[in-house]
Amino acid sequence: MGVAQFSGEHDQLHLPQSKLGHHAVYESGGGIDHYLGFRGRAIAFLNRRVGFSFARGVKGGQAVALAGSGIAFGSAGLPSLIAHIFTKINLQGIYMPYRNLSRRAFLAATFATLATATCAHAADSFPTQRITMIVPFPAGGGSDGVARYLSEPMARILGQPVVIENLGGNAGAVGAAKVLREKADGYTIMLGSVNETVLLPIVNSAVPYKYSDFTPVGKVGSTPFMVIGRKDLAANSFDDLIALARKQPGKLSFGSTGVGSYQQIVMEQIMKLADVSMLHVPYRGAAPLMTDLLGGQIDLGVALPSVVLPQARQGAIKAFGVTGQARDASAPEVPAINESKSVKNLDFSFWFGVFAPKNMPEDRRAKLASALEQVLQDPKVKQQLETAGLTVAQPAEQKDFAGFMKQEDQKLRGIASGIKLD
């Protein structure tokens, strides 16, 4: 096999009529017997290392097209990148004066391609480290339960741990704001809800973000709320509850997960429709609310069925009704509030989704969204979520999640505008 000779005088590589690697090199009569040094050495190296078929000939003193074959871009390091450059320039049969491509230009093209390939490789390999899923409420609440159903199967699909971090406070705004302060690289996400992503920026001017500051990864599911009371409360139905509130204006207390929370909005709307008043007691999450309700420190609460159904079925608390249009499949024994005489046309559903900071790269968002969609289609996970009272989101809902959030923002702005929150 002939050896390529470098000529320093013209910065050229003399290629003998021979075979480099296992590919033939052809020369036409009177054709080019040398090639620009840096390119020639690269091509010879490629023939030896990764295999690169090419032909050379002459047309008016110009080099003819190179044709790359069998190169897996990004898998053979720098040789394959150089081959990619030659392929892009010459594969389409574009004739270029071989002396016009300077070493500086070639190096610039090579490193530009290298940078692009590096970015592409980084995106393709995501994730390469653990992902933190922030839950903006304390452990033990409804949001925490949903996150724990999702985290382990998502970790299996993504190939990296998904670690839950509970960070409650200010009806979920503390945890949500922390997510938005993190890098938009996909390694910090949030299992959030309509409460802290859409509602809080509407009702609390101190919240330092708006719903559009989040990257919506995908919708998880939705559930109605359940209005509950302490077990010794002198009411056995929703109509009884409203009658009691009318007898004691402002005396009955109800707990929510914070000022401006979705739970407060629900109760404020109920009081408005029923023309009664009650005392609002805000908590940092559903778990401490339930502790005080079970202990008799407050009279009423609004919570997710998944959190309160076990206690309700045991008789530890009373369930007065659900806030959806009809009864919930997870608790068919509990009537819808719309079935009462006191309140009609009530329809509040609480939805969950996965979010990331704004401006996260689309390829990473798509990878997380795909993992979430696969998890939600898993029969075991779907059963867990449905048992917890959620109607699992369909793929079409996930794809239009951003549009859905915009609609929710408009709806809640209309409701909240007529309610005084404190």
pLDDT at 262: 86
pLDDT at 219: 97
Tell me the mean pLDDT in the region 56-63. Answer: 38
Residue 171, both tokens: 């009806």
- Domain covering 226-347 in this structure, CATH number: 3.40.190.10
Instruction: Identify the residue whose tokens are 């809080």.
Output: 200
pLDDT at 261: 82
Half-sphere exposure in the Cβ direction for 28 (13 Å, CA): 12
CATH 3.40.190.10 maps onto the chain at 226-347
- Whether 367 shows a pLDDT value over 70: the answer reads yes
d(CA 187, CA 209): 20
Half-sphere exposure in the Cβ direction for 302 (13 Å, CA): 28
pTM given for the model: 0.62
DSSP 8-state code for residue 422: -
pLDDT at 100: 52
Question: Regarding predicted confidence, which is higher, 49 or 327?
Answer: 327
Residue 188, both tokens: 């910090």
d(CA 226, CA 332): 12
- Among 73-82, 131-140, 234-243, 360-369, the least confident range: 73-82
d(CA 145, CA 149): 6
- Among 2-11, 141-150, 344-353, 410-419, the least confident range: 2-11
Question: Regarding predicted confidence, which is higher, 229 or 53?
Answer: 229
- DSSP for 285-320, please give it: SHHHHHHHHHTTSSSEEEE-HHHHHHHHHHTSEEEE
DSSP 8-state code for residue 65: P
Split at pLDDT 50, 70, 90, the class of 99 is very low
The CATH T-level fold of domain 131-224+351-416 is D-Maltodextrin-Binding Protein; domain 2 (3.40.190)
Split at pLDDT 50, 70, 90, the class of 101 is low
Percent of the chain with pLDDT over 70: 70
* CB neighbours of residue 314 within 10 Å: 9
Bridge partners (DSSP) listed for residue 12: 7, 36
pLDDT at 76: 40
Q: What is the pLDDT of residues 19-51, one digit of tens each?
A: 333 333 333 333 333 433 444 454 444 444 444
Question: Regarding predicted confidence, which is higher, 53 or 215?
Answer: 215
Q: What is the pLDDT of residues 262-318, one digit of tens each?
A: 899 999 999 999 999 999 999 987 889 999 999 999 999 998 887 788 999 999 999
pLDDT at 285: 79
Q: What is the pLDDT of residues 189-208, one digit of tens each?
A: 999 999 899 999 998 889 99
pLDDT at 92: 42
Tell me the mean pLDDT in the region 331-350. Answer: 94
Split at pLDDT 50, 70, 90, the class of 4 is very low
pLDDT at 284: 81
Mean pLDDT of the chain: 79
Strands (DSSP E) along 196-245, which ranges?
A: 214-224, 226-230
d(CA 90, CA 111): 18
- Among 9-13, 94-98, 243-247, 353-357, the least confident range: 9-13
pLDDT at 66: 35
CATH 3.40.190.150 maps onto the chain at 131-224+351-416
